[in-house]
Structure 1
Protein backbone atom coordinates (compact mmCIF):
# COMPACT_ATOMS: atom_id res chain seq x y z
CA UNK A 1 0.00 0.00 0.00
CA UNK A 2 2.96 2.32 0.51
CA UNK A 3 3.56 2.64 -3.22
CA UNK A 4 -0.14 3.35 -3.82
CA UNK A 5 -0.23 6.23 -1.33
CA UNK A 6 3.18 7.55 -2.42
CA UNK A 7 2.15 7.66 -6.09
CA UNK A 8 -1.22 9.17 -5.11
CA UNK A 9 0.71 12.08 -3.53
CA UNK A 10 2.82 12.35 -6.72
CA UNK A 11 6.05 11.54 -4.88
CA UNK A 12 9.00 9.53 -6.12
CA UNK A 13 10.74 7.08 -3.81
CA UNK A 14 13.54 9.64 -3.53
CA UNK A 15 11.09 12.46 -2.66
CA UNK A 16 9.49 10.40 0.11
CA UNK A 17 12.85 9.26 1.46
CA UNK A 18 14.06 12.86 1.72
CA UNK A 19 10.88 14.01 3.46
CA UNK A 20 11.07 11.13 5.96
CA UNK A 21 14.84 11.37 6.43
CA UNK A 22 15.79 7.86 5.31
CA UNK A 23 17.62 6.35 2.34
CA UNK A 24 15.81 5.81 -0.96
CA UNK A 25 16.84 2.15 -0.92
CA UNK A 26 14.93 1.76 2.36
CA UNK A 27 11.71 3.00 0.72
CA UNK A 28 12.35 0.65 -2.20
CA UNK A 29 12.86 -2.35 0.10
CA UNK A 30 9.75 -1.53 2.13
CA UNK A 31 7.67 -1.26 -1.06
CA UNK A 32 9.07 -4.55 -2.37
CA UNK A 33 8.34 -6.35 0.90
CA UNK A 34 12.03 -6.98 1.57
CA UNK A 35 11.98 -4.95 4.78
CA UNK A 36 9.48 -3.81 7.38
CA UNK A 37 9.73 -0.25 8.65
CA UNK A 38 10.43 0.46 12.29
CA UNK A 39 7.57 2.02 14.22
CA UNK A 40 9.37 5.37 14.08
CA UNK A 41 9.84 5.20 10.30
CA UNK A 42 6.28 4.00 9.73
CA UNK A 43 5.00 6.90 11.81
CA UNK A 44 7.05 9.42 9.81
CA UNK A 45 5.85 7.92 6.53
CA UNK A 46 2.22 7.98 7.66
CA UNK A 47 2.46 11.62 8.73
CA UNK A 48 4.13 12.57 5.45
CA UNK A 49 1.49 10.79 3.35
CA UNK A 50 -1.45 11.83 5.56
CA UNK A 51 -2.60 8.26 6.20
CA UNK A 52 -2.66 6.03 9.26
CA UNK A 53 0.03 3.41 9.75
CA UNK A 54 -2.49 0.58 9.44
CA UNK A 55 -3.74 1.99 6.12
CA UNK A 56 -0.23 2.10 4.65
CA UNK A 57 1.09 -1.06 6.33
CA UNK A 58 -1.99 -3.24 6.97
CA UNK A 59 -0.02 -6.50 7.12
CA UNK A 60 2.23 -5.17 9.86
CA UNK A 61 0.05 -3.01 12.08
CA UNK A 62 -3.37 -4.62 11.79
CA UNK A 63 -1.81 -7.98 12.56
CA UNK A 64 -0.07 -6.66 15.67
CA UNK A 65 -3.30 -4.98 16.82
CA UNK A 66 -5.25 -8.20 16.24
CA UNK A 67 -2.67 -10.14 18.23
CA UNK A 68 -2.97 -7.72 21.15
CA UNK A 69 -6.75 -8.03 20.99
CA UNK A 70 -6.59 -11.81 20.96
CA UNK A 71 -4.15 -11.89 23.90
CA UNK A 72 -6.39 -9.53 25.85
CA UNK A 73 -9.43 -11.74 25.25
CA UNK A 74 -7.50 -14.83 26.34
CA UNK A 75 -6.76 -13.29 29.75
CA UNK A 76 -10.47 -12.91 30.53
Structure 2
Protein backbone atom coordinates (compact mmCIF):
# COMPACT_ATOMS: atom_id res chain seq x y z
CA UNK A 1 0.00 0.00 0.00
CA UNK A 2 1.35 3.39 -0.97
CA UNK A 3 0.00 5.18 2.07
CA UNK A 4 1.19 8.69 1.20
CA UNK A 5 -0.57 8.48 -2.15
CA UNK A 6 -3.81 7.42 -0.47
CA UNK A 7 -3.43 10.05 2.28
CA UNK A 8 -2.97 12.85 -0.27
CA UNK A 9 -6.11 11.77 -2.12
CA UNK A 10 -8.17 11.55 1.08
CA UNK A 11 -6.84 14.88 2.34
CA UNK A 12 -8.36 16.50 -0.74
CA UNK A 13 -11.54 14.42 -0.41
CA UNK A 14 -11.08 12.94 -3.90
CA UNK A 15 -12.47 9.55 -4.84
CA UNK A 16 -10.41 7.16 -6.92
CA UNK A 17 -12.85 7.79 -9.76
CA UNK A 18 -12.27 11.56 -9.57
CA UNK A 19 -8.50 11.08 -9.57
CA UNK A 20 -8.77 8.77 -12.57
CA UNK A 21 -10.79 11.33 -14.48
CA UNK A 22 -8.40 14.17 -13.62
CA UNK A 23 -5.37 12.13 -14.67
CA UNK A 24 -7.08 10.56 -17.69
CA UNK A 25 -6.43 7.00 -16.52
CA UNK A 26 -8.78 4.22 -15.42
CA UNK A 27 -10.18 3.96 -11.92
CA UNK A 28 -8.96 0.36 -11.71
CA UNK A 29 -5.43 1.53 -12.55
CA UNK A 30 -5.58 4.17 -9.77
CA UNK A 31 -6.70 1.50 -7.30
CA UNK A 32 -3.90 -0.87 -8.32
CA UNK A 33 -1.28 1.89 -8.13
CA UNK A 34 -2.43 2.88 -4.64
CA UNK A 35 -2.33 -0.73 -3.47
CA UNK A 36 1.15 -1.21 -4.96
CA UNK A 37 -0.05 -3.90 -7.35
CA UNK A 38 1.01 -1.86 -10.39
CA UNK A 39 3.82 0.60 -10.95
CA UNK A 40 3.03 3.77 -12.85
CA UNK A 41 5.10 4.93 -15.78
CA UNK A 42 7.10 8.15 -15.54
CA UNK A 43 4.36 10.21 -17.20
CA UNK A 44 1.72 8.94 -14.76
CA UNK A 45 4.00 9.60 -11.79
CA UNK A 46 4.39 13.19 -12.96
CA UNK A 47 0.61 13.54 -13.25
CA UNK A 48 0.20 12.43 -9.63
CA UNK A 49 3.02 14.76 -8.58
CA UNK A 50 1.33 17.75 -10.25
CA UNK A 51 -2.13 16.85 -8.95
CA UNK A 52 -1.02 16.55 -5.32
CA UNK A 53 1.92 18.98 -5.32
CA UNK A 54 4.10 16.32 -3.69
CA UNK A 55 7.41 15.05 -5.03
CA UNK A 56 7.13 11.67 -6.80
CA UNK A 57 9.79 10.19 -4.53
CA UNK A 58 7.49 10.78 -1.56
CA UNK A 59 4.40 9.44 -3.31
CA UNK A 60 6.18 6.32 -4.61
CA UNK A 61 9.05 5.65 -2.17
CA UNK A 62 9.13 1.94 -3.02
CA UNK A 63 10.13 2.75 -6.61
CA UNK A 64 13.08 4.89 -5.57
CA UNK A 65 14.68 2.68 -2.92
CA UNK A 66 18.31 1.90 -3.56
CA UNK A 67 19.26 -1.65 -2.79
CA UNK A 68 22.89 -2.54 -2.70
CA UNK A 69 23.47 -6.26 -2.90
CA UNK A 70 26.47 -7.06 -0.75
CA UNK A 71 26.38 -10.80 -1.37
CA UNK A 72 28.31 -12.38 -4.17
CA UNK A 73 27.93 -15.61 -5.99
CA UNK A 74 30.75 -17.85 -4.94
CA UNK A 75 32.80 -19.36 -7.72
CA UNK A 76 33.29 -23.07 -7.24
SS in 1 for 2:37: coil
Structure 2 residue 51 is the aligned partner of structure 1 residue 48: yes
Matched with 2:10 is 7
Larger Rg: 2
Matched with 1:39 is 42
Name structure 2 gaps, 5 residues minimum.
69-76
What is the CA-CA distance between 1:55 and the residue it aligns to?
1.1
Report the TM-score when normalising by structure 2: 0.77
After TM superposition, which residue ranges in structure 1, 4 or more long, deviate above 6 angstroms? none
Paired residue total: 65
SS in 2 for 1:51: coil
Matched with 2:63 is 60
Report the TM-score when normalising by structure 1: 0.77
Q: Which has the higher helix share?
A: 1
CA RMSD of aligned residues (A): 1.4
Name structure 1 gaps, 5 residues minimum.
71-76
Deviations 1:3-54 (A, max 9, x none): 1111111110011111111000000001111101111101001101111101
